[in-house]
Amino acid sequence: MRSAIRVLVVDDSALVRQMLCRALSAAPGIDVVGTAGTGFEAINKALELQPDVITLDIQMPELSGLEALPQIVRNTPARVVMLTAVEDPDTAYEALDLGATDFVVKPRKGLASSLAEAAEVLVRKIEIASRVPPERRLIRRAEGAGSPKPVRSPRQSAPRGFEKVVAIAASTGGPPALEVVFSALNTDLPAAYVIVQHLPAGFADPLARRLSRTTDIAVSVPSTGTVLQQGMAYLAPHGTHMRVEGRTVPRLQLESSPPLHSVRPAADPLFESVAARFGDKAVGVVLSGMGVDGATGMRAIRDAGGATIVQDEETSVVWGMPGAAVRAGAAAEVVPLSAVAGRIRRAVGV
């Protein structure tokens, strides 16, 4: 029988700490072992209590959660779920870079006033984080970092024609992994890119900007009817599934059909549409993530003659989605994160 997940709750508000403790203690399989109100106290309690998971508020006096995070990751095996505001997505992505396993967005009116809504999400994130081996908390950014930043080329003459479409899916651990992959790709490749990354509302546009800073490929959040172009990447917006349609001119279609695998956007509808539209010109990629999203669509791409690439277990924060693709017989190649971009380049003929 699996032992209870030992959780340390960190927030500068005594009321929020109290309400979080009450909500988490009511969840089966979670044991709140302590609380802390400052970053310094969080570090000391983490060392003393050795919790499995820490819920860590970003905004705190004296030492912020972002400042305390590296010391917690370096000196304890705790997995960290950050509590962040929807108005500050860039800080949440920075926390992932520093070793946080995931983040939860606080309701706009404050966690205390909407705790029932936030607690269910937080419990699920804690359960996922607890399964992450401590050594996988940090994406091995050194494998993909350090490359010279590409010079952005003018966009007015960018050609619309392309030979391949690369469809990429990711979830937990995905944003840093996507940065590693795109840092090794550029507009010279005869391909367009379509991406599903499971994110809360308000976090897609900031991620697109972050990815654009790693490469000369322009990454954007499209609207329905957007025409695919070579050397451009399109990140599915929150709350809609994204598909590729159009017999002569491939366009992106956004639709609000029911969630699939409890997420919207889901990767399977996108992958299946890419397989149907492009056949052996399709490339499917599944990166780190919890769940099974992408496995069925990846199988469709492989059955259509396309290339399929999966991030391996050792370099994935969570090997749920990649593992599901492997078990479905959809993965032609299973490679470390550092090798994914190279396999994409080879699959598009470069």
Is 64 annotated as catalytic? no
Give 79's DSSP letter.
E
Query: Could you say which of 12, 130, 198, 273 is catalytic?
Result: 198
Residue carrying structure tokens 């490929």: 217
Active site residue 288: no
What is the residue whose two structure tokens read 């500050």? 88
Does the active-site annotation cover 171?
Answer: yes
Specify the pairing of strand 218-220 against strand 333-335: unpaired
Coil, strand, or helix at residue 11? coil
Nearest-angstrom CA–CA distance, 239 and 248: 27
Which amino acid would we find at residue 23? Answer: A
Q: What span, in angstroms and rounded, lies between the C-alpha atoms of 261 and 50?
A: 33
Catalytic residue among 12, 102, 293, 312: 293
Encoding tokens for residue 75?
A: 């000196």
CA atoms of 315 and 137, how far apart (whole Å): 10
Report angle CA 252, 246, 340 to the nearest 5 degrees: 55
| Strand residue runs (E) in 71-197 | 79-85, 102-106, 164-170, 191-197
Out of 130, 171, 288, 316, which one is annotated catalytic? Answer: 171
- Catalytic center residues: 171, 198, 293
